[in-house]
Amino acid sequence: MKTISPQDIPFQAFYRLLNSSVAPRPIAFVSTISQEGHVNLAPFSFFNIVGFNPPMLVFSPTITRHGQKKHSLLNVQEVPEVTINLVSHAMVEQTSLASAEFDRHVNEFDKAGFTAVASERVKPPRVAEAPVAYECLVRQLIPLGDSAGAGTMVVCEVVLAHFQDHIFGENEQIDPHKIDLVGRLGADWYVRANDAAVFEVARPQIGLGVDQLPAAVRNSNILTGNDLGKLGSVKTLPTADEITAHSQSEPMLALRDEARYGCQYLPDLLHFRAKQLLAEGNAEEAWLVLLNG
């Protein structure tokens, strides 16, 4: 284990560690406008949702390496309104281009080739290509320091939201495969929230807990921490009658034959079979297999 105090290394070096480990981060593609009417468009990965009643978002522009405030921050200090657009894979390269350090009065909508659409309740326009756009009022600016790398937390209340029709699934909920978002990693790395990168974890319930698993299961060299979490989420164990009935099932008899005639260690076979069942989402049968041991 490598232990590092932020005070012991240059702040840029600790930033690289922080930026690469607190990830992936959602990207706020923020449109702002100056008092003179100059529009700015810039991505920020120091961004997240912090409340939903009222709906609140935060992002944090940092002071540049040259000691200057980001143009987005200068704008919201003058006009406390923003649109926060989300970034899909189809627009990530253009979004990256918009992050270049153009002069303050250069319009990144034009430079990056995005379409500006007039917002309804705030002055800054939204990005037509974005799968989701939030019109927001800036409620608070919280300075987090005044040196290079320090940020200002921009606290925003969503007053209107726009969703592309194609991102919804059959249940009228946003489909993660259709919205196809990207997240920020460290250095030049991004992640695409699609295909094999998207998976489901059932909502937690008060189950047995890992501490109540039999020691042979809890200390298994075959079952992972994720496997133990699934087993620990089950509310009740199978009954003795259920375990006995399952012990006579064809798969269990086949495992016992494999152990007997193939000179295999039965507990290992049971753990491998339980692991397979857990991967298929069948924790109840996995327990039946394990308790047959």
Q: Domain segments of the chain: what residues?
A: 6-197, 210-291
Q: Write down the mean pLDDT value for the chain.
A: 93
**135-153 average pLDDT score:** 91
- pLDDT higher than 90, residue 264: no
Does residue 55 contact residue 137 with C-beta atoms inside 8 Å?
no
Q: Among candidates 133, 144, 7, which has minimal Cα distance to 62?
A: 144
**200-213 average pLDDT score:** 86
**269-279 average pLDDT score:** 94
Residue with tokens 């609140």: 56
- pLDDT band of 68, cuts 50, 70, 90: confident
| Residues 13-49 pLDDT 10s | 999 999 999 999 999 999 999 999 999 999 999 999 9
State residue 290's pLDDT score: 93
99, with CB counted inside 10 A (0-12, 13-18, 19+), is middle
- Percentage of the chain surpassing pLDDT 70? 100
**128-156 average pLDDT score:** 94
Q: Among candidates 28, 124, 125, 43, which has minimal Cα distance to 76?
A: 124
**210-228 average pLDDT score:** 94
Rounded to 5 degrees, φ, ψ at 111 are -65, -40
State residue 6's pLDDT score: 93
State residue 292's pLDDT score: 85
**264-269 average pLDDT score:** 88
- pLDDT band of 56, cuts 50, 70, 90: very high
- pLDDT band of 201, cuts 50, 70, 90: confident
Strand ranges across the sheet with 152-163: 39-44, 28-33, 81-86, 132-143, 152-163, 55-59, 47-52
State residue 204's pLDDT score: 78
Structure tokens at 260: 């007997």
- pLDDT higher than 90, residue 287: yes
Does residue 211 contact residue 199 with C-beta atoms inside 8 Å?
no
Domain 6-197 has CATH 2.30.110.10: yes
- pLDDT higher than 80, residue 66: no
Does residue 126 contact residue 85 with C-beta atoms inside 8 Å?
yes
Choose the weakest-confidence range: 27-31, 199-203, 217-221, 267-271.
199-203
State residue 203's pLDDT score: 82
State residue 202's pLDDT score: 81
| Residues 234-245 pLDDT 10s | 988 899 999 999
State residue 64's pLDDT score: 81
Q: What is the DSSP string of 244-290?
A: HHHHTSHHHHHHHHHHHHTT--HHHHHHHHHHHHHHTT-HHHHHHHH
